[in-house]
Amino acid sequence: MRIVLHIWRQRNANEQGRMVRYELPNVSQHMSFLEMLDVLNEDLIAKGEDPVAFDHDCREGICGMCGCMVNGIAHGPLPGTTLCQLHMRHFKDGDELYLEPWRAKAFPVVKDLVVDRSAFDRLIAAGGFISASTGSAPDGNAILVPKEIADHSMDAAACIGCGACVAMCPNASASLFMGAKVAHLGLLPQGQPERYRRVKAMVAQAKAEIFGSCTNIGECEAVCPKEIRLEVIARMNGDFLKASFVQPGAGDGEE
C-alpha cells in the first residue's frame, strides 16, 4: 500500500525543525511501524540523505524506548500499543501520517523524532527506588502480600517509562509515570520505609524538571501503552497529602 509520511526533521536541539514529506509506494501491511521507517531510512541512505532518527530497542513493547506522535496521538491510533508493536495493517492505502517527537519542555528534542527523556531518570533517582536489600530471589511466600495488593502493584509496575503520558498531556504532566512508581513500590511491604519521602522527593523533582501539574484530563491514561490507570495518580496525591502529616522519620527519610 501507499503511505505518505510527513516527518518532523530537526538536526539538533538548537536548530529549528520542519515537516518533510516522504512517499512510500510499497508498504507491506505486515510491516511494523518501525520497519516502515527502516525501509524509508534505507532509501534515504541509498540516496545519500540523512536517515530519520528515531528511538527504539526491544521492538517488543517492553523497553519503553520507542514512541512518537502519529497524527497527534502518542504511539498512534491503536490503544494499549507501543509504536513498535503497531502494524501497518491498521492503516489504509493512501493514508497521510504526520510524525512528530514528544512535545514537552522537560523532553527537549535531540534530533528528528528523538527526545531527551533523562528527566524521567532523575525522577527515579529522586524517589523511585527501595532501600531494602534485594539480594537473590526470595523464597515464595516469605513476605506475605495479599493477592489483590500484589496484582495492583504488578499492574503499576508495567509502566515502561516511554513518556507518552507526558507527551499527550496538555500540561506535560509526569503524574501518571510518577503515580505508577509510587503505587508499584508503595503498595508492597518493601516500599514502606521510603513511602512518604518518595512521593515528596518525586513531586519536588517533577517541579524542578518543569513537568506540569495534573488536572485530571485523562489523556495520559488514554494513550498509555501499558494501560496504567488514573487511580495511581489518586494514590500519589493521597500519599503526598499524608506525607505532610507523618512524623519526621516515619517513612520520610528524615531523622
Distance CA 219, CA 210 (A): 19
Distance CA 119, CA 110 (A): 13
What is the footprint of ligand FES within residues 47-86 (CB under 6 A)? 56-59, 61-66, 82, 84
Residue identified by cell 517541579 is 207
Residue 56 interacts with which of ligand SF4, ligand FES, none, CB < 5 to 8 Å by class: ligand FES
Residues contacting 139, CB < 8 A, separation 6+: none
Report long-range pairs for 246-255 (Cβ below 8 Å, ≥24 apart).
Answer: 246/196, 250/196, 251/192, 251/193, 251/194, 251/195, 251/196, 251/197, 252/196, 252/197, 252/200, 253/194, 253/197, 253/201, 254/197
The answer to whether residue 117 forms part of the interface with ligand SF4 (CB under 6 A) is no
Distance CA 83, CA 64 (A): 10
* Shortest spacing between CB 11 and ligand SF4, in angstroms: 27
Q: Which CB, 10 or 175, lies closer to ligand SF4?
A: 175
* Shortest spacing between CB 80 and ligand FES, in angstroms: 13
Strand partners, 214: none
Edge-first strand order for the sheet with 69-70 is 18-24, 3-9, 96-100, 69-70, 73-74
What is the footprint of ligand FES within residues 157-186 (CB under 6 A)? 160
Residue 226 interacts with which of ligand FES, ligand SF4, none, CB < 5 to 8 Å by class: ligand SF4
Half-sphere exposure of 71 (CA within 13 A, CB side): 9
The answer to whether residue 228 forms part of the interface with ligand SF4 (CB under 6 A) is yes
Quick check: 24 and 40 in contact, CB under 8 A? yes
Residue 200 interacts with which of ligand FES, ligand SF4, none, CB < 5 to 8 Å by class: none
User: In what helix (H) or strand (E) does residue 252 lie, and over which residues does it extend?
Assistant: none
* Shortest spacing between CB 132 and ligand FES, in angstroms: 28
Pull the grid cell for residue 98: 504526520
What is the footprint of ligand SF4 within residues 159-198 (CB under 6 A)? 159-165, 176-177, 180
* Shortest spacing between CB 55 and ligand FES, in angstroms: 7
Report how many residues bind ligand SF4 under the rule CB under 6 A. Answer: 14
Residue 164 interacts with which of ligand SF4, ligand FES, none, CB < 5 to 8 Å by class: ligand SF4
Q: Which CB, 32 or 173, lies closer to ligand FES?
A: 32
Binding-site member from 9, 195, 226, 229 for ligand SF4 (CB under 6 A) = 226
Which residues bind to ligand FES, rule: CB under 6 A?
A: 56-59, 61-66, 82, 84, 160
Which residues bind to ligand SF4, rule: CB under 6 A?
A: 159-165, 176-177, 180, 224-226, 228
